[in-house]
Amino acid sequence: MSDTVKIVTETTYLYVIIDDILKSLGHRDHPACACSDSEVITTAVAAALHFGSNHCDANGFVQQTGLMPGMVEASRFSRRIHRLGELVADLFLQLGHVFKSLSESMVYRIDSFPLNSCHNIRIPRSRLFKHEQYRGRNASKRQYRRATPFYGIKVFVMTDEANRPVEYCFTPGSWAEIDGLRQMPLDLPPGSEVYLDSGFTDYWMEDELKEAENLNFWVARRKNSHRPHHPSVDFLIRHHRKPTVRRCDRDHIQRDNCPVSEKGTRCH
């Protein structure tokens, strides 16, 4: 099966699921809209899955393949997806519940990555974010033996074992990983296992989630940890703690994603 046929098939399945969920939520399109909200949201989701969050590429693809010949132009598409921001957030939670219920295993991963708004030299002229709380550091990319600074927001993503996103949240760039973890819903079935890196270490939170929700949080330990894991547990954590968002996808998002507002940054 070629890549084009695969993308067309997955986009068709996505449209059916999204349209059914919107109907179950009682959502109705405006009578004057030639392109339905289901088509707009499906195109945005397809852009995130296959086109590095580039809405223009996804827009052109659905038109050229005949999936959605009535798709609106790029500027109107951007306005439509901004207007549907809250609906897309609700829809994402619904899709997350669907993925959790369909998942055969109860293994999940949480990871974070920075979404840079501009180069450091342009921070004083930045119009997207204007506060020191958005100035953070990216520990995974180092320059001169130091964590690379960035200016923007952090995206926290929880994925299942099939690498499908089921939960997410946005935080300012200066927030630590554990602060972002506390903002996530963590709506998981009892007995689930969640694998995280050492930046999410919080002994009290691990114990509370284990006792109250029966959630097993397996956090990679630092060398000076007061509660080290057994070597076999460390091996399992390294095995399951795969990057939630691949590095090539991060670079693709950073290169092709050029929003001009804070809301646009979150929508992309």
DSSP string, 141-173: EEETTEEEEEEEEEEEEEEETT--EEEEEEEET
pLDDT of residue 249: 46
- 241 contacts 195 by C-beta, under 8 angstroms: yes
Mean pLDDT of the chain: 82
DSSP character at residue 237: H
Q: What percent of the chain stands above pLDDT 70?
A: 86
Q: What is the pLDDT of residue 236?
A: 84
Length of the chain: 268
Instruction: Give the residue with greater pLDDT, 49 vs 167.
Output: 167
How far apart are the C-alpha atoms of 172 and 153, rounded to whole Å? 5
Check residue 205 and give its pLDDT. 92
E strand segments, 29-116: 107-116
pLDDT of 239 reads: 80
- Beta strand 146-160 pairing with 193-196: unpaired
Which pLDDT band, with edges at 50, 70 and 90, does 242 fall under? low
- Whole-number Å distance between alpha carbons of 105 and 109: 12
Amino acid present at 254: Q
Q: Looking at residue 255, what is its pLDDT?
A: 45
Report the predicted TM-score, pTM, of the whole model to 2 decimal places: 0.76
Confidence of residue 257 (pLDDT cuts 50, 70, 90): low
Element (H, E) at 215: none
Lowest mean pLDDT, pick from 7-16, 75-84, 129-138, 167-176: 129-138
Q: State the pLDDT at residue 183.
A: 92
pLDDT band for 248, please (50, 70, 90 cuts). Answer: very low
* pLDDT 10s digits, 186-221: 989 888 999 998 889 899 999 999 998 899 999 988
Is 135 strand, coil or helix?
A: strand
Phi-psi region of 192 (alpha: psi -120 to 50; beta: other; left: phi over 0): beta
Mean pLDDT to the nearest integer, 221-230: 87
Q: What is the structure's pLDDT at 91?
A: 83
Domain spans in the chain, listed from the N-terminal domain onward: 3-99, 105-267
State the pLDDT at residue 40. 92
Q: How far is CA 82 from CA 78, 121, 230, 246, 262, in A?
A: 6, 29, 48, 26, 11
Q: How many CB atoms lie within 10 A of CB 191?
A: 10
pLDDT tens by residue, 118-154:
777 788 887 778 888 888 877 666 544 556 778 888 9
Q: How confident is the model at residue 258 (pLDDT cuts 50, 70, 90)?
A: low
